A and B are shown apart, each in its own frame.
Chain A
Amino acid sequence: MARAFTPKVVTANDLIEGDVIYLTETDQWTRHHNEAELIEDEAHAQLRLLFASGQPAKVVGAYLADAKAGPDGPEPVHFREAFRAKGPSNYAHGKQETRA
């Protein structure tokens, strides 16, 4: 039996700033994990990744990251993705600056 598909988000780094970005349902890129499109179907995930990889002048290193549904939108599953979504822990830099 095939294993159940773990939901995904498409994530990458912004070409100019390097910041972590996520693909939304409306084909936009957002800096916020909870605004990403939560992809629950494997075939659709591949299509979305292809779409992201086709924008080399905007994004770098697009890939699919495990995610789960949360009250405010998709949440990261792995701690690495949680750190990417939040920013470094030693200074309130990166996303923490713009959110504050």
Chain B
Amino acid sequence: MYTYSEYDDAYVRRRVAEFAQQVERRIDGSLTEDEFKPLRLMNGLYLQLHAYMLRVAIPYGTLDSAKMDQLAYIAEKWDKGYGHFTTRQNIQYNWPKLPDVPAILEALADVGMHAIQTSGNTIRNVTADHFAGAAADEIEDPRPVAELLRQWSTDHPEFQFMPRKFKIAITGSPNDRAVTKAHDIGLRMVRNEAGEPGFEVIVGGGLGRTPMVGKVINEFLPKADLLPYCEAIVSVWNTLGRRDNKYKARIKITVAENGLDTFRALVEERFAEIRPEFTGVDQEILASIEKEFTAPAFRNATAEAFDAAYGADPVFRSWADTNLAEHRVDGYAIVTISLKAHGQTPGDASADQMRVMADLARRYGHDELRISHEQNVILPHVHKSDLPLVHAELLRAGLATANVGLISDIIACPGMDYCALATARSIPVAEQIATRFDELKLEHEIGEMKIKISGCINACGHHHVGHIGILGLDRAGVENYQITLGGDGTETAAIGERTGPGFAYDEIVPAIEKIVETYLKERESAEERFLDCYRRVGINPFKLALYGEDAKGRARAA
């Protein structure tokens, strides 16, 4: 894992000291809120519905136990004993007090973390495949490149006042677990005909009020050209992007309005201009970063303990079947720790739970942890023989929910329980859906299902790419939930289609039940996933189930 250089450490501490003074001046009245707001946002500090919220970056979702322990310490000392992991691989604290924030940032700096560029019109935290470095299907670990992008984008003088925020996601695998097609820039590692690794560059994806699947701007970009090419893209957009209308400011609109070919031509032109300035220093830096991401010393041992537990313990077996993924090394597994206990807030972990996860990483996981955009925590490298012990400790900590990829593994934004932008609640909807399907004992029968819930049109909950997407709106002073079906956030990305008029707060869970019943009735076999069934039969059976015979009429009226 990358450790801060002296330069990084000094930079982060300078920023903390600067912000400490700004907070002081705000509290003593020398700064007005209008003056202070942009300064606090530069440091990830928002003011939400009930309190301040501090958003801390977890670069490309990678942590070690010391960092996770420190997140737990912060949660306990300055917050209410928990933290919320987000769809951008960040952690949010919902209750910090303004005078405490500099001390929190100092505590983060102590473990090489910060909250810089987690807000504002800058390049945000670069997100990555949460199985990076461990996945069996991976070409190369994308995290060194993600770290290079982090260093390049942090405080980049050209990119501090852009038309809008800018998000980059990267994956080293053909199976896209990083939703690269819904980002401003998506980078997917591929090999060219000579077998060399490079990147397929996707541009102009995004969710929000105008959801768009990103388009391939470059089918194969050599690794050495990555920084100048990304810089060219951001630079062209920074000049061309609409600053007159924030709803048209994101790069997806720039690409759509100008056309991909025109945009590509401008990028190529800019690239030709700046490429010579990249004299190879970036590649030297990348090479030194790569050394910090060498694979752990995997051990060679038998997996007998795993096989024995798998045969004897049905609880372990069920967990192993849903929460483990294939590791690139024989004898190892990738463990997904579900932060989706039925009826609980998706993505929340208590300080105690964070410490348990840190401890497991230290003892059994080569000291590595990941945060997924699906709001779960990953132990990327666990030897199979250790899994029964890991599972037993997770059980004790309330962290052994066996539901990864199932209907209760729901992504939900904070919604109107916390967020000042929200138009409806998301968390209680997620809690109720999970509880309901747990009662029905149907979730394993249903199989792979991705429900994603956003409490406003900004789509932090990725509802557009949920197999079932739920969008909470304010309709004439009442919470109302629209449903979309058939969304997909993987390499076969698709935006979900709206079923029709929305549902009231107390109608949404029964509506989801009707959709699931319809799927179970329509599917050809238990092997046909919801998404595949939907693609085969289309939206009509679901509309009929939701709205009855007047489905057509109501759909028109919507």
Q: Is there contact, CB below 8 Å, between B477 and A61?
A: no
> Number of B residues contacting the other chain (C-beta, 8 Å)?
31
Cα A67 to Cα B425 in complex, Å, equals 21
Chain A residues lying within 8 Å of B348, measured Cβ to Cβ, are 90
Cα A15 to Cα B27 in complex, Å, equals 8
Q: Is there contact, CB below 8 Å, between A88 and B418?
A: yes
Report if A88-B478 is in contact (Cβ < 8 Å); known contacts: A61-B33, A93-B80. Answer: no
Q: Is B95 an interface residue (CB 8 A)?
A: yes
Q: Is there contact, CB below 8 Å, between B28 and A16?
A: no
Q: Is B157 an interface residue (CB 8 A)?
A: no
CB distance from B412 to the nearest CB of A (A): 10
Q: What are 28 A-B interface contacts by the 8 Å CB criterion? A: A13-B47, A16-B97, A16-B98, A17-B51, A17-B98, A18-B48, A18-B50, A18-B97, A56-B29, A56-B33, A57-B28, A60-B33, A61-B47, A79-B416, A80-B416, A84-B49, A88-B418, A89-B427, A89-B428, A90-B348, A90-B417, A90-B428, A91-B345, A93-B50, A93-B94, A94-B50, A94-B51, A95-B50
CB distance from A9 to the nearest CB of B (A): 16
Chain A residues lying within 8 Å of B52, measured Cβ to Cβ, are 17-18
> Number of A residues contacting the other chain (C-beta, 8 Å)?
25
Cα A77 to Cα B477 in complex, Å, equals 9
Cα A93 to Cα B84 in complex, Å, equals 14
Q: Is there contact, CB below 8 Å, between A89 and B425?
A: yes
B residues contacting A by CB (< 8 A) are 26-29, 32-33, 47-52, 80, 94-95, 97-99, 345, 348, 416-418, 425, 427-428, 431, 474, 477-479
Q: Is A83 an interface residue (CB 8 A)?
A: yes
Secondary structure type dominating chain A contacts: loop
Cα A57 to Cα B30 in complex, Å, equals 9
Which chain A residues (42-78) contact chain B, with CB distance < 8 Å?
56-57, 60-61, 77-78
Q: Is there contact, CB below 8 Å, between B29 and A57?
A: yes
Which chain A residues (1-59) contact chain B, with CB distance < 8 Å?
13, 15-20, 56-57
Q: Is there contact, CB below 8 Å, between B477 and A79?
A: yes
Cα A77 to Cα B474 in complex, Å, equals 13
Chain B residues lying within 8 Å of A61, measured Cβ to Cβ, are 33, 47
Q: Is there contact, CB below 8 Å, between A90 and B431?
A: yes
Q: Is there contact, CB below 8 Å, between B50 and A79?
A: no
CB distance from B119 to the nearest CB of A (A): 16
Q: Is there contact, CB below 8 Å, between A20 and B98?
A: no
CB distance from B98 to the nearest CB of A (A): 5
Cα A22 to Cα B97 in complex, Å, equals 19
Chain B residues lying within 8 Å of A19, measured Cβ to Cβ, are 50-51
Q: Is there contact, CB below 8 Å, between B97 and A80?
A: no
Q: Is there contact, CB below 8 Å, between A60 and B47?
A: yes
Report if A88-B28 is in contact (Cβ < 8 Å); known contacts: A17-B51, A18-B48, A61-B33. Answer: no
Chain B residues lying within 8 Å of A95, measured Cβ to Cβ, are 50
Q: Is there contact, CB below 8 Å, between A87 and B50?
A: yes
**Best-surrounded residue of B49, B80, B95, B348 (most CB of chain A within 10 A):** B49
Chain A residues lying within 8 Å of B51, measured Cβ to Cβ, are 17-19, 94
